[in-house]
Amino acid sequence: MALHWRTASDEGHVGASRLQISVDDRLVAHGVHVLAVIGCLGIGVATALVSPILALIAIAALAIGLVCVLATHVFGSRGLFYLALTAASAFMAMNGLRVASWIALSDVFLAGAFLLSPMVFARRSSEGMPFSYALFGIGLLSAGAILGSLFVGGDVSSFSALIRFVFASAGLLTLFWYWAPGERNLEPFLWIWILSATISAVYALVLEPETSFVRRVVGLTTHPNHLALISVMAIGPALAFYRTKSGWSRFLAVCAICLLTNALLLSGSRAGVIGLTTTVGLFVFISRDLKSLALVAASAAALAIVIVSGSIQLNESNALQRLLSAESSSATASDAERRQKLEDSFKAVETNPITGVGLSKAREAHNIYLQVTASAGILGLAGLCIVLLSALGIPLFKLGVKAIADSPAAFGLFLSVASYATIGLFQNAIWDRYIWFCLAMNAAAMSSLLTAKSAQISEQTTVPTNAGNVEDLPRFQLNQG
């Protein structure tokens, strides 16, 4: 039985080729079964020899494997891949939900999607420029980190951090490059990402009332700064959907924006406020319509009214208080601690500007550009800049503002990455999976647009094979002087 799937050409993109892969679905299914059962049994035997508690965990793992076998029969290999990626997306913004201290719940489903992807998809079929540039940048950053770990750091934790970074960055980018989803396939996952972030925001607003007035809220994340960064990176796509959708979709986007903004304020993250300002400014500048300007103006006026009137009682550590008040004790203490870490990072850069000192202390500077330079040297900084340019600069240069604004997925993900690049001046998140999930979706969306543009140009420049009558062809005379 042949497996067929649609590429970008099936989503309205002219000229992209339709792939047909003749693979026996039963063979693929049996391969999944064998891998799942052998893997789970191996884990069970190994862990049972170590600890009874680990043996119970192995039994749970075996049960999950058997569920995967059943799911493969019911949904097929491709359906199981989509289920795994959907589950990973649903928990991506909730990095506080963890299976262990070093692995989030979303990582479990993401690992399943990784294992299934080679058996489901044959090769990429879209324009690979954003992916290739981003992976090249990750290669430079990784090379700098390896040099720093070998010649300066010499710490096992540095290599452990490097593995986490490569898994999050190169792993997710490779998965989406291999999959090559079109815009229609990306939009559902983008909605799931917004929903995941909104659920975390609702948890912070509703289920943390006892502590929300004395400390910063975290939602379902591991830190208030993560809650703010996730909220801002979800507000961008919600704004794009508000602009391009109608009816219930627009209503849901507005609700998500309101809830995420409130959670951002209660998180106390000043960088989040700056990132939100950047997102809104870019949204108005790129969309350039009165509807967008009216939304921003009305939202800002409503927020100012409810805060001044006291209708919403923000906690004493809210983001606006910490940003605008010089008397905020929590902000003062945070600034003093960060100032010392910035000085230490600058000293590390001065001491080892070429190789850096490894990734063992890569999150201390609270500035992704400085901490990457301190950890991976000049190569690392160049690699990070290439990654961000592949997500922001290349699309603007190759596609233009209008093409990006007219695509809900591309526009929303462009805003997400832009907000991260801005908040990164004051944030230390660098290998968290949700960041690279948005970067990978951004690369997929831009690749889809570039593929459509290339196909359109190719179609316009192709010489017709049926030229008609000879008399209809242009005649040229040779001037023989």
The answer to whether residue 421 is domain-embedded is: yes
Residues composing the chain: 481
334 and 238 in a common domain: yes
User: What pLDDT was estimated at residue 162?
Assistant: 80
First to last CA, the chain: 69
Shared-domain flag, residues 309 and 440: yes
Tell me, yes or no, whether 61 lies in a domain. yes
Q: Are residues 160 and 244 in the same domain?
A: yes
Whether 348 is covered by a domain: the verdict is: yes
Q: Provide, rounded to the nearest whole percent, the portion of the chain with pLDDT above 70.
A: 67
Contact 229/269 with Cβ under 8 angstroms? yes
Domain boundary among 120, 147, 163: 120
The answer to whether residue 207 scores a pLDDT higher than 50 is yes
pLDDT in tens, 267-325: 888 888 899 989 988 898 888 777 766 776 677 666 666 655 555 556 667 777 776 66
d(CA 366, CA 345) in angstroms, rounded, equals: 10
Whether residue 8 has pLDDT greater than 90: no
Q: Are residues 69 and 159 in the same domain?
A: no
Q: Are 307 and 301 in contact (CB under 8 A)?
A: no
Q: Is the pLDDT of residue 5 over 90?
A: no
Mean predicted lDDT score pLDDT of the chain: 75
Query: 179 and 112 in one domain?
Result: no
Task: Of 24, 17, 18, 29, give the one whose Cα is nearest residue 3.
Answer: 24
Top mean pLDDT of 106-115, 160-169, 309-318, 379-388 is at: 379-388
Which among 110, 24, 32 has a CA at the least distance from the CA of 71?
Answer: 32
pLDDT at 19: 37
Strand partners, 98: 104
Work out the percent of the chain whose per-residue pLDDT is above 90: 15
Residue 440: in which H helix or E strand, if any? helix 433-461
pLDDT, greater one: 137 or 58: 137
- Give pLDDT, residue 64: 64
> Closest by alpha carbon to 352, among 381, 380, 377?
377
Q: What are the tokens at 146?
A: 């390896």
Of 306-310, 386-390, 427-431, the range with the lowest mean pLDDT is 306-310
Range of the domain at 104: 25-120
Mean pLDDT over residues 350-374, rounded? 78
3-state helix, strand, coil in the chain (%, to 5): 75, 0, 25
**Among the listed residues 377, 339, 361, 478, the one whose alpha carbon sits nearest the alpha carbon of residue 428:** 361
CA 145 – CA 158 distance, rounded (Å): 8
Residue 34 sits in the same domain as residue 162: no
Residue 227 lies in a domain: yes
Same domain, 412 and 319: yes
What is the structure's pLDDT at 310?
A: 55
Instruction: Please identify, among 75, 101, 120, the residue that sits at the C-terminal boundary of a domain.
Output: 120
Q: Is the pLDDT of residue 411 over 60?
A: yes
Task: Read off the pLDDT band of 195 (50, 70, 90).
Answer: very high
Q: Choose one of 99, 120, 141: the last residue of a domain.
A: 120
Task: Give CB contacts under 8 A, 24+ apart, made by 350-354.
Answer: 352/148, 352/152, 352/377, 353/377, 353/378, 354/147, 354/378, 354/379
Burial class for 196, CB neighbours closer than 10 Å (0-12, 13-18, 19+): buried
Higher pLDDT, 12 or 129: 129
> What CA–CA distance (Å, rounded) separates 241 from 361?
38
CA 218 to chain centre: 20
273: which residues sit within 8 A by CB, 6+ positions away?
A: 264, 265, 319, 320, 323
> Is the sign of the CA dihedral 415, 417, 420, 421 positive or negative?
negative
Q: Name the residue with higher pLDDT: 443 or 104.
A: 443
The number of folded domains in the chain is 2
pLDDT at residue 471 above 50? no
Q: Are residues 280 and 405 in the same domain?
A: yes
Same domain, 111 and 131: no
- Interacting residues of 319 by C-beta distance below 8 A, sequence separation 6+: 228, 264, 265, 266, 267, 268, 269, 270, 272, 273
- Residue 200, pLDDT > 70, answer yes
Q: 35 vs 78, which has greater pLDDT? A: 78
Q: Is the full-model pTM beyond 0.85?
A: no
Alpha-carbon span 40 to 57, nearest angstrom: 10
Instruction: List the structure tokens of 122.
Output: 């044959």
Domain shared by 247 and 304, yes or no: yes
Q: Is residue 465 part of a domain?
A: no
Does residue 10 lie within any of the structural domains? no
Asked whether residue 15 is assigned to any structural domain, the reply reads no
Is residue 479 in a domain?
A: no
Q: Is residue 436 within 8 Å of residue 168, measured between CB atoms?
A: yes
Residue 4, CA distances (Å) to 163, 181, 408 in order: 35, 15, 27
The residue among 406 and 1 whose pLDDT is bigger is 406
Do 429 and 317 lie in one domain? The reply is yes
